[in-house]
Amino acid sequence: MEGEKGHIVLFPFMAQGHIIPFLALASKFTQKGYQITFINTPLNIKKLKSSSSSSSKNPSIHFLEIPFNSTEHNLPPDAEITDSLPYNLALKLLQVSPSLESNFRNILTNLVNLKIGFFKKPPICVVSDFFFGWSAKVTHEFGILHSIFVGAGGFGLACYYSMWINLPHKHTDNLEFILPDFQEAGKFHVTQLSPSLAIADGNDEYSVFQMKNLPLWKNSDGVLFNTVEEFDNSGLMYFRRKLCIPVWAIGPILYQENDTKTPRKESGIPLVKCKEWLDNKDEKSVLYICFGSQNTISPSQMMQLAKALDGVEVNFIWVIRPPLGFDVNADFKPEEWLPEGFIERNQENEQRGLVVVNWAPQVEILAHESIGSFLSNCGWNSVLESLINGVPLIGWPMAADQFFNAKFLVEEIGVCVEMARGTTFDVSYGDVIKKIELVMDSESEKGKRLRGKACEVKEMIKDATRDEADYKGSSIRAMDEFFNLMMKERIGSQ
């Protein structure tokens, strides 16, 4: 029966990009027979409960509010999730998050004594966000196992961790530098730093938070990564030697909602229409373009990309949003932001391109045999969705770990060509055409190599997730090891 094996507490940071991977993990754990108490601040919990997502209907997941009042921390009322906040307030929310500690302790006290919550068993493990380094110590006060869950890739997060604790770019005048404790990652260029890292000097608020938080990871009993050991080993090894605790690669764990089949808002495209369009295209002939749900490009970059698509002979699906400087929720204005007649020319006459505003069923698109390549911001979820299907990438990283993910895909596993970096990068359509042709041309040597590699990685992922009586892949074994440790701790404590 579901939930029989035990009760696990999940506690992500208050950001969409953290909550969603934790929901995917929650669903995975319930499939394995565990019950989940999913903790977050009141507004986020209300939203999660009232959503039509499958997790809100899963009887083995109980959503629990941890008290938090944003106005008491000089934040605007109802400021509980970073996505809707400007940068300085998002940082502020991160900075005040350790103040959740005493309420978190109260919650654990009550869960352990079965005073609150939904399940008739005390929790046997807390899995928290990597921003909540403080939560390990609190959890251990109750003799409960603590693990961190990272929704990002091993290599990307190792770069991120090392950058923040070493700030290597501050110790050189060169534009290129290496990471002192992760030299095997090779050279980095200053253009691969997110704005907050680029300005970090050890005394700014972000650095102060990171330098306090990151070393606390050592207090945890292990780290779960949403990745695969076989292709992401160097980053995982970094954490093993840095933290001296178990590091388990249990991915890919993807968030798949059944109701994503209906487009959000009025825009977007229904799956049926998208599939019909793709069915009429040749195998590997379509370039899929999407910069993730949080990113967009500058107006001039958008114009250059559109000109390139006009000039290059490939099919494409472009998920488009208003460019930087405009309200992302505003109507899309093709007459302002795209070359004249772009949509009609590509969509209606030749049917060569499909421009989709805001949202498309990405999981299903990437799984279609007509897709030849994915022009992506290299957010980790997108990367996994591409690699599962053996689709090579064209990288255009824009934030945080995306720069490191792109570097990883290009240099470490060879499934990607980098096209641009960030939103101030000077993009020219001629160059964009060259990069697209390099990857999409069925005859080019480079393209063949990328596709070959992507196919190898797809097989690695398939193998890692094989769960048969006589054969278990690496991700299945890692998850079993995590559960075994959890069970052993519980027996030991009784």
Ligand X SMILES: *[C@@H]1O[C@H](CO)[C@@H](O)[C@H](O)[C@H]1NC(C)=O
What type of residue sits at position 316? F
How many residues bind to ligand X according to rule CB under 6 A?
5
DSSP SS3 for 280: coil
C-alpha–C-alpha distance, residues 80 and 488, integer Å:
36
Instruction: Say which residue the tokens 């969509």 belong to.
Output: 347
Position of minimal CB gap to ligand X: 54
> For ligand X, which residue of 4, 72, 266, 350 counts as binding (CB under 6 A)?
72
Closer to ligand X by CB, 69 or 280: give it.
Answer: 69
- Closest distance between ligand X and the C-beta of residue 67, in Å? 8
Least distance CB 72 / ligand X (angstroms): 5
Round to whole Å and give the CA distance between 354 and 409: 27
Which range of residues in 28-36, 69-77, 351-359, 387-395 is near ligand X by CB under 6 A? 69-77
- Give the residue ranges of DSSP H helices in 59-100: 87-96
Beta strands in 58-202 (DSSP E): 61-65, 125-128, 145-150, 176-177, 188-189
Nearest CB to ligand X, comparing residues 54 and 294: 54
Minimum CB separation from ligand X for residue 252, in Å? 16
- 103 counts as binding ligand X under rule CB under 6 A: no
Between 274 and 415, name the residue whose CB sits nearer to ligand X.
274
* Cα–Cα distance for residue pair 102/160, rounded to 1 Å: 29
Asked whether 365 and 290 are in contact (CB, 8 A), the reply is no
Smallest gap from Cβ 424 to ligand X, in A, equals: 39
CB of 69 to ligand X, least distance (A): 4
Where does 223-298 have alpha helices with state H?
A: 233-243, 271-279
Using CA atoms, how far apart are residues 165 and 298, in angstroms rounded to an integer? 31
Angstrom CA distances, 348 to 308, 355, 371, stand at: 18, 11, 20
Taking CB under 6 A as the binding criterion, the range among 68-76, 105-113, 172-180, 207-215 that sits at the site for ligand X is: 68-76
Cβ-based nearer residue to ligand X, 69 or 109: 69
Enumerate the H helices of 321-470 as residue ranges.
334-337, 342-343, 362-366, 380-388, 402-407, 429-440, 445-464
Please state the closest distance from residue 258 (CB atom) to ligand X, in A. 4
Is residue 56 a contact residue for ligand X (CB under 6 A)? no
**For ligand X, which is the closer residue by CB, 54 or 300?**
54
Instruction: Kindly tell me which of 71 and 428 has the beta carbon lying closer to ligand X.
Output: 71
182-210 burial, b if ≥16 CB within 10 A, otherwise e?
A: beebeebeeebbbebbeebeeeeebbebb
Smaller CB separation from ligand X, 26 or 223:
26
C-alpha distances (whole Å) from 115 to each of 79, 108, 138 are 29, 10, 18
Considering only 16, 51, 54, 166, the residue that binds ligand X (CB under 6 A) is 54
Measured CA to CA, the distance from residue 381 to residue 398 in angstroms comes to 15
CA–CA distance, 129 with 109 (Å, rounded to integer): 20
Find the binder of ligand X among 258, 325, 340, 492 (CB under 6 A). Answer: 258
- The distance from CA 490 to its chain's CA centroid, rounded to whole angstroms, is 31
262 binds ligand X (CB under 6 A): no
Q: Least CB distance from residue 151 to ligand X, whole Å?
A: 18
Is 71 near ligand X (CB under 6 A)? yes
Stretch that binds ligand X, among 66-74, 283-291, 355-363, 450-458 (CB under 6 A): 66-74
Q: What angle do CA 93, 96, 102 make, to 5 degrees?
A: 130
Q: Which is nearer to ligand X, 107 or 289 (CB)?
A: 107
Question: Which CB, 97 or 301, lies closer to ligand X?
Answer: 97
Segment interacting with ligand X (CB under 6 A) among 67-75, 98-106, 420-428, 459-467: 67-75
69 binds ligand X (CB under 6 A): yes
Please give the C-alpha separations between residue 23 and each of 345, 359, 374, 434, in angstroms, as whole numbers: 41, 20, 25, 39
Minimum distance between the CB of residue 259 and ligand X, rounded to whole angstroms?
9
Shortest separation between residue 27's beta carbon and ligand X, angstroms = 6
Residues that bind ligand X (CB under 6 A): 54, 69, 71-72, 258
